[in-house]
Amino acid sequence: MLSYQHSYHAGGPADVHKHLVLAELLTLLTQKSRGISYLETHAGRGLYDLASDDAKKTNEAAEGINALHLSDCPLAKTLQNMRQKHGGNAYPGSPMIARDILREQDMLHLMELHPVEYRILRQNLMGDGVSLHKRDGYEGVFAITPPKPRKGLVLIDPSYEIKTEYAQVAEFSHRLMAKWPEATILIWYPLLEAARHMDLVDGLKLPFIKHEVGFDLKDGQGMTGSGLILINAPYRSDEILQRVEKQSADILRPLA
């Protein structure tokens, strides 16, 4: 089932939560000169236009990135770079954030299954150091794991259109960690009134850090907040989460 389109939600509060943490993490992981690998199971198209019909239909960015005044932080730098290149309404997806922060010695591997999203992703991201795959993200990431360089980050960011996907993400994370124990994994999930994310959280039988925030979306369709799970969190990840909370205090409420 591929009916989900991220262009309706780009720049919304959930994106801001995920992308603030992702940009900080990538900055932290690239402090040393050794290269890293960045893998995504669900890449999307990489770059969004907040003035597009899709984005205007939900207007989530008005309650997300457009309601924030980001001071100096990795996401603010990427946003500025993208807007210089692509205009004032551009908003970077996770692949573009990664490409902006990563260096020559690093590698990106991006999976996207939707034919239209994949075509646009290719237009936006094709280049040296980027490997693009039109295939199922779980199957694709597992197949190329462990990658070279061996140090790296995997972002798992599905649309959870199928209820069983929460449990699938937990099961996939176990398999991936068994095959690539050095990996850091970042998982995004929605907080819904139905609390379906508990299948993921309870299903994870390995140590992790969890970061959840609440927000009010006019048309949130039952989504009350956003959650992130970090497996094999790098040293000083707690400082990242504190900085993210400070940066996003105007739109995101940290949950206990």
- What residues line the site for ligand SAM (CB under 6 A)? 2, 4, 6, 18, 42-44, 93-94, 111-114, 117, 136-137, 157-159
Q: Which is nearer to ligand SAM, 132 or 241 (CB)?
A: 132
Q: How far is the CB of 104 from ligand SAM (least distance, A)?
A: 23
> Using H for helix, E for strand and C for coil, what is the string for 60-124?
HHHHCHHHCCCCCCHHHHHHHHHHHHHCCCEEECHHHHHHHHCCCCCEEEEECCCHHHHHHHHHH
Q: How far is the CB of 17 from ligand SAM (least distance, A)?
A: 11
Cβ-closest position to ligand SAM: 93
Identity of the residue, 9 or 151, whose beta carbon is nearer to ligand SAM in the bound complex: 9
Active-site annotation holder among 54, 157, 199, 219: 157
Q: How far is the CB of 32 from ligand SAM (least distance, A)?
A: 25
The amino acid present at 169, given as its one-letter code, is V
The neighbouring-strand residues paired with 225 are 191, 214
* Residue 15 is among the residues annotated as catalytic for this protein: no
Cα 247 from Cα 238, distance rounded (Å): 14
Residue 197 CB coordination number (10 Å): 22
Go through 43-52 and write b for each residue having 16 or more CB atoms within 10 A of its CB, e for each that does not.
Answer: bbbbbbbbee
Tell me how far apart the alpha carbons of residues 106 and 147 are, in angstroms, rounded to a whole number: 11
Q: Which is nearer to ligand SAM, 136 or 171 (CB)?
A: 136
Do 38 and 102 contact (CB within 8 A), yes or no? yes
Among residues 13 and 137, whose Cβ is nearest to ligand SAM?
137
For the bound state, the minimum distance from the C-beta of residue 113 to ligand SAM, rounded and expressed in Å, comes to 4
User: Buried (b) or exposed (e) across 117-154, using 16+ Cβ within 10 A?
Assistant: bbebbbebbeeeebebbbeebbebbbebbebeeebbbb
Q: How far is the CB of 71 from ligand SAM (least distance, A)?
A: 22
CB of 106 or CB of 157, closer to ligand SAM: 157
Q: Where are the alpha helices (DSSP H) in 87-236?
A: 94-101, 115-125, 137-143, 165-179, 198-203
DSSP 234: P
Which positions are catalytic? 157
